[in-house]
Amino acid sequence: KGTVYLLGSGPGDPDLLTVQAVKLLQSASLVVSDRLVSKEILSLIKCELKVANKRPGCADEAQDEINRWVIDAASEGRDVVRLKIGDPFLFGRGGEEILEYRKHGIESKVLPGLSSSYTAPLAATIPLTHRGVANQVLISTGFGRNATYVDLPSYNSECTVVLLMAVGRIDEIATSLVAGKGFPGSTPVCIVEKATTPDERFIHGNLQTIAAIAKAMEAKPPATIIIGDV
């Protein structure tokens, strides 16, 4: 059987890929990529490329298709790169994919990638921790399994909240944090869209205003949301 490499592509800038990642992208016989991996990184691929069709409402079906692509190719003896946005194990289903491959006798190697949970704030010059302001960081997804809501903890003035895959429900999240979790409506919020790519945008507001601002500016994934006084 071939080898499967779960490779983190980072936030989007090819210069932020590891040297090992670049070598694998150029030597693999098949790359199966997440839909939101940047076009700049995809342009480095020299072999056959298949892109996942993961969209809201069809994620499970798309995941099944990804697994079939990878398992079929590896069973044929091909070396496969499973290219994942950010880091493979941070809300990336990386662990689930490894378990699925093992059912078919296929072992995987995991290569870390820079997560947008900390690279996106850096791109916006936002420190996640700052002495006297924030000494904790909470990283959460905006969508639980089957599109359920994630129960975020109550307000802590010294904790920076970083949300991944949450821009599509920023209205509900902001409302719930203020109404149910004790967050001041004036708490600063920044949405970093397409971090480190030529299309990067920073959208600023607070918990009272960010939903309307995001709607007006048509904020879209991939995006990272930073909430807190930093």
pLDDT digits (tens, 9 = 90+) for 65-112: 999 999 999 999 999 999 999 998 998 889 999 999 999 999 899 998
- The continuous run of DSSP H or E covering 6 comes out as strand 4-8
pTM, rounded to two decimals: 0.90
3-state class (DSSP) for residue 185: coil
pLDDT confidence of residue 57? 54
Q: Hey, which residues does 164 pair with through a beta bridge?
A: 141, 224
Mapping DSSP onto H, E and C, the string for 43-102 reads: CCCCCEEEECCCCCCCHHHHHHHHHHHHHHHHHCCCCEEEEECECCCCCCCHHHHHHHHH
Q: Is residue 176 exposed (0-12), middle (13-18) or buried (19+ Cβ within 10 Å)?
A: middle
The set of catalytic residues is 34, 54, 165
SS3 content of the chain, % helix, strand, coil (to 5): 35, 25, 45
**Single-letter code of the amino acid located at 8:** G
pLDDT confidence of residue 61? 83
Over residues 188-222, the pLDDT tens digits come to: 999 999 999 999 999 999 999 999 999 999 999 99
In this structure, what are the phi and psi dihedrals at residue 179, rounded to the nearest 5 degrees? -75, -35
In this structure, what are the phi and psi dihedrals at residue 99, rounded to the nearest 5 degrees? -65, -40
